[in-house]
Amino acid sequence: METGSKGPRFALTRFLLDRFILGELVGPFFFGIMAFTVILVAGTLLFQIADLIIKQGVSLGVVIRLFLYSLPGVITLTIPMSCLLAALLGFGKLSANSEIVALKGAGVSFRRIVRPVVAVSVVIAVFAFITNETLVPLCKKAAQNVMRYEVLTAQVPLFKRQVFFKEHRHGQLERVIYVEEIHPQSGKMSGIIVQEFEDGRLKRIMLAPRGDWQGGNWWVDDGKVFEISEEGNVHLLFRFKRQVMRLTLDPSQVEKTAMNPNEMDLFELYELIKISQMQGSDTAELWTMLHLRISVPWASVILALVGAALGCRPQRSASGVSLGVAIIIVFIYYVIMSFAQSLGDAGSLPPAVAAWTPNVLFFIVGWFLAVRAERFA
C-alpha cells in the first residue's frame, strides 16, 4: 500500500521536474527564433527586398508578400539553432544558480535532467519536418509565381526541350529515346529519335517528326524505322503512318521534371529522382537533397543535447556569450554540412552518408559532452 502511494507522488515529482526544466527553455527558444530569423533576414532577404524596390520599382505590397512567403523557410532553418540556444541559456542559468548541482545532490542524474529536453526537441524536429514538407514548398511556389507573373512578367515555359530517356534490361542498355520538344499540357511532342540496342550494339533507329498523347499512350506519326547491320550499314526497314511508342512516363510526369526541386515535397522529389533515373540523368544531387530534407530537422535534437551539456558551465550563463557560442556552433555545423553535401552531389560520398555526416559528428560530440556533464556537473 505504501509503495502504491509513492507511485503518484513520484510521477508528480518527475512531472514538476520536467516542467521546471522546460520552463527555463521556453523563453530562450522563442528568443532564438526571433534573433536568428532577424540575422538571416538581415543577411539575405533585406538586400533582395531593397534591390526589388530600388532597382526594379516593385510595389511595397508585392515585396511584403514575397517577404511573408519567405518567412516559413527561414524559420524552419532557425529551429535547430534555437534549440541549441535555448539549451545553452536554460542550462547555463540552472548551472549559474547551482540548481543542477542541487539536483545532482538529490540523486538526479544529468541523463534524467536532460531527458525532457531531448523529448521536446524530438517533437520540435517532427514539427519542423512536417512544416518543411507542407507549408514551405507551398510558400516557395507562391513566391515563385509572384516573381514570374508580377515582378518579371514572364510566362512559365509550356514545353521541355531535349529530353532523354534510357532503358536498361539485365544491366545492359536496351533503348535510348530522344525528344526534341515535349508540351506536357497538350501532350504533343516533336523531333523523336528512338535507338534500340541488342547485346550492347545499336540495332535499330526510329525517326518520327511528331507524336502525341492519346488514350493513355504515346503515339508517333509518319515515322521511319532503319536497321543497322553488324558492318554498320543502314537500310530502311519500313515506314509507318501512326503507331504506339512504348514510354513509361505520362505528360504529368514529364511536366514534373521541369519543376524546381526546392519547390517539391519529399514524395514529389522522390518521384523526380525515379523519372531522372529513367532518363539516364545523374541523380546524386537529388538523392543528397532528399536525405538532407530528412536529416536537417533532426539537428534540433542533436544541437539541443550539445547545448545542454555545454550550458552546464556557469560561464555560459550570459545571454550574449551563449548567443555567440550558438552562432559559432551553428556555423561549424553548416560548414560541415555544406562540405559533405558537395561531396554527395559530386558522387564522392553516398548521398545518405553525406546528408547524415554532420548529425553523426555532432551526436558524438554531444554524447561526449553529456558524459562529462554526468561526471562533473
CA dihedral for 183, 187, 190, 191, sign (positive or negative): positive
Summarised one tens digit per residue, pLDDT across range 293-327 is 999 999 999 999 999 888 876 554 456 677 788 88
Summarised one tens digit per residue, pLDDT across range 186-216 is 778 888 888 888 877 888 888 888 888 877 7
The CA dihedral of 109, 373, 364, 75, to the nearest 10 degrees, is 90
| Cα(239)–Cα(250) distance, integer angstroms | 25
- Closest listed residue to residue 222, CA positions, set 235, 212, 209, 213: 209
Q: What is the mean pLDDT of residues 285-296?
A: 92
Integer angstrom CA distances of residue 7 from 1, 103, 225? 10, 20, 82
DSSP one-letter string for 159-175: -EEEEEEEEEETTEEEE
| Cα(273)–Cα(267) distance, integer angstroms | 10
Is residue 139 within 8 A of residue 70, CB to CB? The reply is: yes
Q: Which of 138-142, 315-319, 338-342 shows the lowest per-residue confidence on average (mean pLDDT)?
A: 315-319
The winner for highest mean pLDDT among 5-9, 99-103, 137-141 is 137-141
| Its pTM surpasses 0.85 | no
- Closest listed residue to residue 138, CA positions, set 52, 72, 46, 41: 72
Q: What is the mean pLDDT of residues 322-341?
A: 89
Q: Band the pLDDT of 82: cuts 50, 70, 90.
A: very high
